């Protein structure tokens, strides 16, 4: 496998649902090894569809990739199922925290090791508990009784149990209080620094995503409309005005201009 190229490369993909709705229109992005890349965009921009295209989860929704290519670690991954992908080190944490509510936290975590045939599952459990001590405290509790933030930790922990090199993380901040969002994002950064784990992070919350990401892509109607290093995107006046709630022109003394200049991706 190529050691040089990006770990994940999505090249000009189109995705259609039910042979009718063209939702991704030639979307291209790259995730370097060891990077944290943010996929930003408003409701319905196509972030989750992108994640599902990579994880090959579109078929159950009558969706398909009709053009373009997806490579992971130098090889095309079309048609591989979740356990093939997990064995290659790619895990997805879906939007909406799907923990198994009646199973204990620990059993939820063990489910994440389903594709492994080695004997290191106990070590991985220890690692998850080291990163998420709250889960250790609640390990015998039914996952359905956890708070929203703890459930998010539980599903990330479950993904870690497959010992991934890369995690696709869809909207981890959704519905969580700001302090918990910071806690979860800083654990993601710790995993990135300590374990060399690579992340593709879909987020509506651009402010927090750009603080933790190395690079970002802004998606509008299934296409990338802006990309750049996270710091450059965070300093971009249009992104500041429309995504970060900061009125760049007001800072320059011209508030009305910014109020009138409605960015394309909000129309």
Ligand X SMILES: Nc1ncnc2c1ncn2[C@@H]1O[C@H](COP(=O)(O)OP(=O)(O)OP(=O)(O)O)[C@@H](O)[C@H]1O
Per CB under 6 A, residues contacting ligand X are: 17-18, 21, 23, 41, 43-49, 61, 63, 95, 171, 204
Which CB atom, from 22 or from 121, has the smaller least distance to ligand X?
22
- Least distance (Å) between residue 60 CB and ligand X: 9
Q: Which residues pair with 90 in a beta bridge?
A: 166
43 binds, among ligand X, Mg ion, none (CB under 5 to 8 A by kind): ligand X
- Least distance (Å) between residue 211 CB and ligand X: 19
- Least distance (Å) between residue 18 CB and ligand X: 6
Which CB atom, from 50 or from 124, has the smaller least distance to Mg ion?
50
Who's near 123: CB < 8 A, 6+ residues apart?
A: none
- Least distance (Å) between residue 16 CB and ligand X: 9
φ, ψ at 236 (rounded to 5°): -70, 125
Work out the number of other CB atoms within 10 angstroms of the CB of residue 223: 16
Residue least distant from Mg ion (Cβ):
48
35 binds, among ligand X, Mg ion, none (CB under 5 to 8 A by kind): none
- Least distance (Å) between residue 17 CB and ligand X: 3
Which CB atom, from 94 or from 246, has the smaller least distance to Mg ion?
94
Q: Is residue 50 at the binding interface for Mg ion, with CB under 5 A as the rule?
A: no
Which CB atom, from 25 or from 33, has the smaller least distance to ligand X?
25
Q: Is residue 48 at the binding interface for Mg ion, with CB under 5 A as the rule?
A: yes
Q: What is the 3-state secondary structure (H, E, C) of the chain?
A: CCCCCCCEEEEEEEEEECCCEEEEEEEEEEECCCCEEEEECCCCCCHHHHHHHHCCCCHHHCEEEEEEEEEECCEECCCCCHHHHHHCCEEEECCCCCCCCCCEHHHHHHHCCCCCCCCCHHHHHHHHHHHCHHHHHCCCCEHHHCCHHHHHHHHHHHHHCCCCCEEEEECCCCCCCHHHHHHHHHHHHHHHHHHCCEEEEEECCHHHHHHHCCEEEEEECCEEEEEEEHHHHHHCHHHHHHCCCCCHHHHCCCHHHHHHCCCHHHC
Which CB atom, from 41 or from 164, has the smaller least distance to ligand X?
41
204 binds, among ligand X, Mg ion, none (CB under 5 to 8 A by kind): ligand X
Which CB atom, from 31 or from 161, has the smaller least distance to Mg ion?
31
**How many residues line the site for Mg ion (CB under 5 A)?**
3
Q: Is residue 91 at the binding interface for Mg ion, with CB under 5 A as the rule?
A: no
Which CB atom, from 104 or from 204, has the smaller least distance to ligand X?
204
- Least distance (Å) between residue 48 CB and Mg ion: 3
Q: How many angstroms separate the CA atoms of 188 and 36, rounded? A: 9
Residues lying near Mg ion in the complex (CB under 5 A):
47-48, 95
């Amino acid at each position: 496998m190529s050691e040089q190229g990006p770990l994940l490369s999505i090249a000009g993909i189109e995705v259609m649902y039910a042979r009718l709705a063209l939702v991704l229109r030639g979307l291209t992005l790259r995730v370097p090894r060891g990077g944290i890349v943010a996929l930003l965009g408003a409701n319905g921009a196509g972030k989750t569809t992108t994640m599902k295209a990579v994880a090959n989860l579109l078929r159950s929704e009558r969706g398909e990739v009709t053009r373009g290519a997806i490579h992971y670690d130098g090889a095309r991954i079309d048609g591989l199922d979740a356990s093939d992908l997990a064995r290659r080190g790619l895990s997805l944490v879906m939007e909406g925290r799907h923990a198994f509510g009646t199973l204990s936290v620990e059993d939820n975590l063990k489910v994440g090791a389903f594709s492994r045939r080695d004997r290191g599952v106990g070590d991985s459990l220890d690692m998850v508990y080291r990163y998420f001590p709250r889960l250790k405290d609640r390990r015998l509790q039914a996952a359905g009784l956890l708070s929203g933030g703890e459930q998010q930790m539980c599903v990330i922990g479950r993904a870690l149990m497959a010992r991934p090199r890369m995690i696709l993380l869809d909207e981890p901040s959704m519905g969580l209080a700001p302090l918990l969002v910071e806690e979860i994002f800083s654990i993601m950064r710790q995993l990135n620094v300590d374990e060399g784990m690579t992340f593709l992070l879909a987020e509506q919350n651009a402010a927090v995503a750009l603080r933790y990401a190395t690079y970002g892509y802004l998606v509008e109607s299934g296409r990338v409309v802006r990309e750049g290093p996270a710091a450059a995107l965070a300093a971009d006046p249009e992104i500041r005005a429309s995504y970060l709630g900061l009125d760049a022109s007001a800072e320059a003394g011209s508030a009305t201009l910014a109020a009138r200049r409605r960015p394309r991706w909000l129309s």
